[in-house]
Amino acid sequence: MKELPLYASNVVQDSEKEAYDLEIHNFQNDHFSDIVEESVDLWWRDVENTSKYPLLSRMAFALLTCFYEPKVESSFSIMNNVITPGSNRLNVSTFNAMQCI
């Protein structure tokens, strides 16, 4: 999870990096005893509303945000030009970090 700012550099500023790392540490040690059946975006909204993990919540919402502009089709076309057989492979630790969010 600590590497996620490398992939969404506009979400966590360099000056917030230390606070972000501390939030990750606290989040990983926190016990979420109330397991509920709700969508991940609603769960993160609840986490954000606690104000306990503001930077981590911001990162989660940035990664969960879907395309919403009318040019979605052209966005996917551009992505096809960017994604190549060599660039579409994720490191296991990176995938695990994204999966946690």
What are the residue ranges spanned by the domains of the chain? 3-67, 70-100
- Structure tokens belonging to residue 62: 């940035």
Q: 27, 11, 6, 10: which is closest to 59 by C-alpha?
A: 11
pLDDT over 60 (residue 79): no
Phi and psi, residue 93, nearest 5° = -65, -35
In the prediction, which pLDDT does 99 show? 59
Mean pLDDT of the chain: 75
Kindly report, residue by residue over 33-69, the tens digit of the pLDDT: 566 777 888 888 888 999 999 999 999 888 887 655 5
Identify the burial level of 16 via C-beta atoms within 10 angstroms of its C-beta, where 0-12 means exposed, 13-18 middle and 19 or more buried. Answer: middle
In the prediction, which pLDDT does 25 show? 92
Question: pLDDT grade, residue 71 (50/70/90)?
Answer: low
pTM tops 0.75, yes or no: no
